[in-house]
Structure 1
């Protein structure tokens, strides 16, 4: 097979990027591609696997080889400032206060066994019945950008029952938790790259073979000094890059300060 499949993948990528096949349309079928490139079906399959992993196409039985809808790669400028919008409530550093976001589909909430990762962050035993609020969101007008799961500690649900309702009121579940005695909540974020679960990939329309960026935000109660809620955002790797502005300490100032030596 040598590297022929990579050459074919590069050529198909070029043709997609140049608009020969638009998002939502289908490429020629396997038989046509085999004939066009003069190779075997296995070579075409390997080329398409590369494009699937890159998020360019999806291959679905009976639907064919479809060019995926792609949103713009979003640059997350990671800061530390939490702001507040009168209508939306708290706005975390990854979002701009003036940027409207939308929810795709219907948000879901349910109580179910908590998986190991959020359980570790929430300081509960894995498998504990825990309320989770799930939504798929994006900037308004863009394809689904991220899957967001918020796990709320059973004590938080007991103290603020409204966090389990569909409509949590102005300011959302965070306001309800703080009003119930857990404010001011403080947050710590954790970031890592991992592979998605099949369920996560399905929700944000991405290939299973593509990594995701996981941003986990842990909210700590001022009353108990323990985690009261954990929000985990799962973002396909082809939709995001993280930018952090570096600042100089006094010892690194220019012109150099002799007193700092």
Structure 2
């Protein structure tokens, strides 16, 4: 891409962004077709698509296959509570939030072998949880449990499992400890497609490992949320040093 084309697509993105943020183009409104916009700005459709990609990466525009480009509606944020390893109760109880839950059995690959501390090829129950509000995806979780630790009925998509999945909580036996690793990164191709975000957008990724009292990993969860749609809260508890208070 030449410097002039680069500057032009950014100028177009700036103009469309201003129209969106000023309210001239309303949330949920469909943008004119790419051909119409390209003619309006006197550029090629390739340059126009680069401009739209900038806005898609910022979360301002959503491209829906077969329908066109739409101004993304302002979405409320989910609240994920670190330490609990779940969405906060009020968020999860919102009736507008729904979950698509699918389960299957997979064999542990190298990555899952490391996370769950099981031999390669061990059978695992895999739960894919995708949360929605209206038609907009909010978060994706893939949860893995050693097959011999799966509670009765969970693979049958029972109501208790669905409620836990709606909270993105631990699906298996109650753990003795939960360790969460949080990072911001670019989405994988699969995450970008499922969450309907641009490849340059940031996702908040959480790897959650639940262990029992003996230290065995009873569940591993890989969670991904679009960065602008989630807040994560951790609470620190002050520990009193008894040696100091006894002086």
What's the TM-score once normalised by structure 1's chain length?
0.71
1:189/1:215 contact within 8 Å kept: yes
Deviation per CA, 1:205-232, whole angstroms, max 9, x where unpaired? Answer: 223332311112111022x421011122
Query: How many residues end up aligned between the 2 structures?
Result: 232
Matched with 2:102 is 108
| Residue of structure 1 aligned with 2:144, choices 141, 148, 151 | 151
Matched with 1:203 is 194
For 1:24 and 1:162, how far apart are their aligned partners in 2?
A: 40
| Residue of structure 1 aligned with 2:17, choices 8, 13, 23 | 13
Are residues 120 and 176 of structure 1, via their aligned partners in 2, closer, same or farther at CA, if it must alter by over 3 Å? closer
2:192/2:198 contact within 8 Å kept: yes
Matched with 2:176 is 185
For 2:221 and 2:33, how far apart are their aligned partners in 1?
A: 42
Unaligned runs of 5+ in 2: 241-247
Matched with 2:217 is 227
Are residues 128 and 75 of structure 1, via their aligned partners in 2, closer, same or farther at CA, if it must alter by over 3 Å? same
Residue 234 (structure 1) shift = 0.8
Are residues 243 and 220 of structure 1, via their aligned partners in 2, closer, same or farther at CA, if it must alter by over 3 Å? closer
Q: Cα RMSD (Å) of the superposition?
A: 3.5
1:42-53 → structure 2 map (5 Å cutoff):
42-53=46-57
1:56/1:68 contact within 8 Å kept: yes
1:64-213 → structure 2 map (5 Å cutoff):
64-74=68-78, 80=83, 82=84, 92=85, 95-99=87-91, 100-101=93-94, 104=98, 106-114=100-108, 116-125=110-119, 128-137=122-131, 143-157=136-150, 160-167=151-158, 169=160, 177-178=172-173, 184-213=175-204
For 2:221 and 2:105, how far apart are their aligned partners in 1?
A: 15
For 2:67 and 2:239, how far apart are their aligned partners in 1?
A: 57
Are residues 229 and 71 of structure 1, via their aligned partners in 2, closer, same or farther at CA, if it must alter by over 3 Å? same
Unaligned runs of 5+ in 1: 83-91, 251-261
What's the TM-score once normalised by structure 2's chain length?
0.75
Deviation per CA, 1:6-59, whole angstroms, max 9, x where unpaired? Answer: 121011012122333334432112332233223333332221121122222234
> Could you tell which deviates more after superposition, 230-239 or 166-175?
166-175
1:152/1:229 contact within 8 Å kept: yes
Are residues 150 and 64 of structure 1, via their aligned partners in 2, closer, same or farther at CA, if it must alter by over 3 Å? same
Verify: 1:56 aligned to 2:66, yes or no.
Answer: no
Matched with 2:244 is none
